[in-house]
Amino acid sequence: MTNSSGTIWIQGAGELASGVGMRLARSGYRVVMAEIENPLAVRRLVAFSEAVYGVEANVEGVPGVLVDTLDFNLHQGKVQVLVDPEARHLAAAGAAAVVDGRMTKKTPKALPLSGQLCIGLGPGFMCGRDADLIIETHRGARLGEVIHQGEAFTNTGIPGVVGGQSANRVVYSPAAGHLKPEVAIGDLVTEGQLLGTVAGEPVHARLAGLVRGLVHPKAELSSGEKVGDIDPRGQQVNPALVTDKALAIAGGVLEALLGAGILPPSGR
């Protein structure tokens, strides 16, 4: 039996969840994304959470609009972004499926589901306990796989290797506060260069490369919070493009929805 209500609720609007939202919107689904009041996305050029700090975000040509209440007359192809960490508007959304893209990498706080198909992204979920289906988010041969039993690959806590670099790509906050940036996303930096300060404490690049992401200056940071991402591949990288990883995960979500008979409103 098919379900063509066509609305998909995505909890979380960071990088990977936004890759899912973009691809589903392009496929004709109505997409609602729920975020926290203080989004901490680093790769902000590909995150619909950026709408929380402004009015509209744009991910590869797909607009995301911040709304206070759901607007079912909003032009199809736009993503609605709500500040709703508890998913209180979920029932009103009439969603056919829920994608949990909070990426906590641990057993998630339960969402107020009412019979919707629930798809979890990455580790922390167990099929039949926290989600109906899980999408593998670990880089490797099974990235994007739809998991029907068990759970995803365990979180290693180590950033993936990009351009031969792993842990040194990621920059963390030295203190609690707000980032005062000295560079912008897309800039080329050298190893040791000052990226900005948090509460007067310097934040330095740990390698040379392109600034692929920086947390929003209004984001409230804790000490040790991720604030930046440097890509050693430099100008080969376009930080405004969704990654291959996010696209693969989005493809897995699309497979899961179609396999469950959940179609876009047009039925295409």
pLDDT in tens, 50-90: 999 987 899 999 999 999 988 877 667 899 999 999 999 99
pLDDT at 163 over 70: no
**Full DSSP string of 7-54:** EEEEE--SHHHHHHHHHHHHTT-EEEEEE-SS---S-GGG-GGGGGGS
d(CA 151, CA 124): 8
Q: Is the pLDDT of residue 125 over 90?
A: yes
Average pLDDT over residues 189-205: 98
The single-letter code of the amino acid at 205 is: A
In whole angstroms, what is the distance from residue 137 CA to residue 216 CA? 25
Residue 171 near residue 205 (C-beta atoms within 8 A): yes
* Rounded mean pLDDT, 113-135: 96
């209180």: which residue's tokens? 88
For residue 256, pLDDT over 60 is answered with: yes
Q: Does domain 7-151+244-259 have CATH number 3.40.50?
A: yes
So what's the pLDDT on residue 71?
80
1 pLDDT exceeds 50?
Answer: no
Q: Is it the case that residue 119 has pLDDT exceeding 80?
A: yes
Q: Where are the domains of the chain?
A: 7-151+244-259, 167-232
Average pLDDT of the segment spanning 145-172: 83
Written out in words, the top-level CATH class of the domain with range 167-232 is: mainly beta
Strands laid side by side in the 7-11 sheet: 56-59, 62-66, 79-83, 30-35, 7-11, 97-100, 117-121, 133-135, 146-147
Mean pLDDT of 136-155: 93
- What tokens does 170 get? 């990621």
The model's confidence at residue 109, banded by pLDDT at 50, 70 and 90, is very high
